[in-house]
Structure 1
Amino acid sequence: MRKLSKKSRITATVAGVALVAVGGGAAYAYWTTTGSGSGSAANSAGGGTVALHATFNAGLTPGNQTNVAYTADNLTTSSTVVGALTANVTTSVPECLPAWFDVTAVTSNSTVAASATGISVGSGVLKFNDSTDNQDACKSATVTVNVSSQ
């Protein structure tokens, strides 16, 4: 092995110090860098509605009432809250007057999770009012409670 001259040693030392300085400077710049940016994506437009159901016992007669259970199916990809419920009655026989029936809908303001079915969202009462009119047309008629939410 040959000995380096004094000039070669100084050159090698300066080159080494320069490499360390350049390498250290790059690391320093990396750790103190700044920047900014942003990202965006559109939210869901709500993608649909829930299906509401009213369930009650059959066999209602004039002057009697039955409880109504309101449930919801949410086939969307996000949860939703079912708010104020409204309900009305229709019948399968035109002579069986919907005016002879009263139905209530007490809202529970329930959250219905995405893809959930059969979730209770309220309750009410269906009453078949007794009348002085002949109500025979309602015998075997199908009574339907229609429910909606706002």
Structure 2
Amino acid sequence: MRTQKKSSSRKKKSAAFVAAGVIGLATAGGAYAYWTSLGGGTGTASTRAGAGNVFLVTGGSATPMYPGDSAQTITATVKNTGTENYKIQAVKAFVTTDKEGCDGTDYMLNGNPAPTSQATAASLSLTPTDLAPAATTTVDYTLQFNNKTTNQDACKGAAVTITYVAS
């Protein structure tokens, strides 16, 4: 009987090895099946509202102006006072004074009579720039007294204000 048990035991071992080999080959050969399907869903996110009036523009005339003087080059500095990056797209300017009878047209902005209100403000040459918080960029322009053919005594001693509009 011992031979029968050995023979039966060998057959069982062989069958187990063959079964293991078949399973191994099946998994190694990628014999997997699966279903495909479609799905969907939604997610949410938000953005900050941003702040208004984050650009601070400064710059002004270096010397007092008078009839017949030369154009002065002015450098205006634009600073991002916000806490996030903002893109400066444009800077415009207009001129006013503290004297009646003396207005922006008594001055030349980039060679043309200066506008006198925000609605008519002149564009200054600026390359749109992404500004990080506290970062700055500059824009240059010229300003001079407009030597008109009419009496301009009203402009004597005038305080000239250059108002910038940044966007």
TM range (shorter): 0.5 to 0.7
| Equivalent position of 2:25 in the other structure | 21
Of residues 110, 130, 133 in structure 2, which corresponds to 1:115? Answer: 133
Distance 2:47 2:61 in 1: 39
Contact 1:72 1:112 in 2 (8 A): no
Distance 2:102 2:140 in 1: 23
Distance 1:59 1:109 in 2: 27
SS in structure 2 opposite 1:5? helix
Q: TM-score, normalised by structure 1?
A: 0.63
Are 1:8 and 2:15 an aligned pair? no
Are 1:51 and 2:55 an aligned pair? yes
Deviation at 1:60, TM superposition (A): 1.5
Contact 1:56 1:66 in 2 (8 A): no
Distance 2:78 2:49 in 1: 16
Deviation at 1:76, TM superposition (A): 5.7
- Amino acid paired to 2:55: A
| Equivalent position of 1:71 in the other structure | 77
Structure 2 residue ranges without an equivalent (≥5): 111-122
Q: TM-score, normalised by structure 2?
A: 0.58
Contact 2:102 2:152 in 1 (8 A): no
SS in structure 1 opposite 2:84? coil
Question: What is the number of equivalent residue pairs in this alignment?
Answer: 142
Deviation at 1:42, TM superposition (A): 6.1
- Amino acid paired to 1:5: S
SS in structure 1 opposite 2:28? helix
Are 1:101 and 2:107 an aligned pair? yes
Deviation at 1:13, TM superposition (A): 1.3
Cα gap change, 1:128 to 1:77, in 2 (>3 Å): same
| Equivalent position of 1:135 in the other structure | 154
- Amino acid paired to 2:66: P
| Equivalent position of 1:87 in the other structure | 93
- Aligned identity (percent) is 22
User: Which of the two has higher C-alpha Rg?
Assistant: 2
Deviation at 1:89, TM superposition (A): 0.8
Distance 1:46 1:70 in 2: 28
Root-mean-square deviation (CA, aligned residues, Å) is 4.0
Distance 1:19 1:36 in 2: 31
Cα gap change, 1:90 to 1:117, in 2 (>3 Å): farther
Cα gap change, 1:111 to 1:55, in 2 (>3 Å): same
Deviation at 1:61, TM superposition (A): 2.8
Cα gap change, 1:28 to 1:86, in 2 (>3 Å): farther
